[in-house]
Amino acid sequence: MSPEKLGQHFLADASWQERIASEVRIGDGMWVEIGAGHGEMTMRLAERASKVFAIELDPRLARQLREVTAPCKNVEIIESDVMAVDFEKLTSGERFSVYGNLPYYITSPILHRLFEYVERIAAIYIVIQFEVAVRIVAQPGRRDYGYLSVASQWFGRPEIAFRIPPGAFRPPPKVASALVSFRMPGGRANNTVADENAFLDFVKECFAQKRKTLRNNLRARLGTRTEDILEEAGLASDVRAEQLTVPQFAELFRLAGK
């Protein structure tokens, strides 16, 4: 399968490579790179990191990467689908940081895969579609605030570092991109839930139909208890999901599980 079919847009512009490398705080620890491509950022990571696991799905690119990185004894090429990688096993349970130039169509699944290992991750830096970046960092009350915002801010503290124009990539995408950083931990550090997977499913339900009130979205789950639980949580009966903060979602989930 060609890189284009895989949704890959390679960061070909050296000046943008340098700007990203300056923003990404490359330490001497362990790094995992997702979508290593032609090694545009792999070599920059290898200059400072003690170990780099560069993941690339395309066999042809993986073969080229092995040749390019052959002089670097601290780089290991992982020819695999990132969704199939066991990061715990790959990193031998050690703490690691992540850099990735992610295919736009699979950004959310990859993030959720990484969130499974959040206890081991020091930081995440990803190059993604700008519109998705805006959704990730959106705050309550904003049109772009939704499930992905809450999930991302539950696990980390995401920020948009800067926009990246289409011309920085080959082939150029049709949209702008952005570098997004995640610092750990996120809202989960100060808000405890009994089951994180169940909590995320609950948040999805809350946003199931954004035009509806939270009361209507939760009625299938909570039935006649809905109004009482909203009142106990200190929420108005006509409140909508996009108005709730991450701590408010955690509290509502706790009350719903009583």
Condensed to tens digits (0 to 9), the pLDDT of residues 178-224 reads: 999 999 999 999 999 999 999 999 999 999 988 889 999 999 999 99
**Which domains occur in the chain, in start order?**
10-189 (3.40.50.150), 196-256 (1.10.8.100)
pTM of the full structure: 0.93
Task: Express each pLDDT in 1-44 by its tens digit.
Answer: 444 444 679 999 999 999 999 999 898 899 999 999 999 999 99
CA angle 13, 18, 21 (to 5 degrees): 125
pLDDT tens column, 89-112:
999 999 999 999 998 889 999 999
What is the SS3 string spanning 173-209? CCCCEEEEEEECCCHHHCCCCCCHHHHHHHHHHHCCC
